């Protein structure tokens, strides 16, 4: 069918045409440090009839106060929490050389739900913690974006 194609939904938007299955992209987004793994992963998934929720924002402003009273900031965080809850699969991609505290929190929030796959290469500062949490909850952990795509497809 003509609608059986990938829909990419960037924060804070909502998809016009949500596909039956969906993936949320959680992971390192440290400007200047983290590679744009989201684009690389999306390229490996875009042949599927899925919705990909990507929290990366071109209009992100690092001067936004990170406080519940800041409407733009709250909109972003609420969007992320809402789409993570709706998604069939949450991929969490940690990038070596980043700290990624929000991604660590998102892994913790979602570890028990059975829909998470993780990429955590050598060189990520809390790799041991990530490995142990994932081992405890039966979450697959891989080293590369290519392997992450394969694991995400298996989970759909």
pLDDT, tens digit, for every residue of 92-116?
Answer: 999 999 999 999 999 999 999 999 9
**Eight-class DSSP state of 55:** -
Whether the CB-CB separation of 17 and 7 falls below 8 Å is answered with yes
Residue 2 within any structural domain of the chain = no
Distance, CA of 78 to CA of 73 (rounded, Å):
9
Per-residue model confidence (pLDDT) at position 41: 97
Above 70 in pLDDT, residue 132? yes
Residue 62 within any structural domain of the chain = no
Q: In this structure, what CATH number is given to the domain that contains residue 43?
A: 3.40.50.450
Whether the CB-CB separation of 84 and 24 falls below 8 Å is answered with yes
What share of the chain in percent tops pLDDT 90?
Answer: 81
Per-residue model confidence (pLDDT) at position 136: 98
Residue 64 within any structural domain of the chain = no
Per-residue model confidence (pLDDT) at position 35: 74
Per-residue model confidence (pLDDT) at position 1: 47
Residue 51 within any structural domain of the chain = yes
CA angle 15, 77, 34 (to 5 degrees): 90
- Host domain of residue 44: 7-55+69-155
* Domain count for the chain: 1
Task: Report residue 37's pLDDT band, with 50, 70 and 90 as the boundaries.
Answer: very high
Distance, CA of 88 to CA of 114 (rounded, Å):
10
- Respond yes or no on whether the N-terminal peptide bond of residue 58 is cis (omega within 30° of 0): no
Per-residue model confidence (pLDDT) at position 61: 85
Q: Express each pLDDT in 52-103 by its tens digit.
A: 999 988 788 888 999 999 999 999 999 999 999 999 999 999 999 999 999 9
Above 60 in pLDDT, residue 120? yes
Above 60 in pLDDT, residue 144? yes
Residue 132 within any structural domain of the chain = yes
Above 70 in pLDDT, residue 34? no
């Amino acid at each position: 069918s003509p609608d059986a194609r990938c829909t990419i939904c960037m924060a804070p938007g909502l998809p016009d045409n949500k596909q039956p299955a969906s993936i949320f992209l959680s992971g390192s987004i440290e400007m200047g440090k983290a590679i744009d793994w989201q684009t690389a992963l999306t390229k490996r998934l875009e042949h599927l009839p899925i919705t990909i929720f990507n929290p990366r924002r071109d209009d992100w402003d690092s001067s936004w106060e990170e406080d519940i009273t800041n409407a733009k900031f709250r909109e972003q965080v609420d969007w992320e929490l809402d789409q993570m809850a709706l998604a069939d699969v949450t991929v969490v991609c940690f990038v070596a050389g980043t700290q990624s505290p929000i991604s660590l929190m998102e892994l913790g929030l979602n570890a028990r739900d059975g829909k998470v796959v993780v990429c955590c290469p050598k060189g990520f500062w809390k790799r041991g913690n990530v490995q142990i949490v994932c081992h405890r909850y039966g979450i697959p952990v891989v080293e590369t974006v290519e392997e992450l795509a394969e694991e995400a497809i298996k989970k759909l």
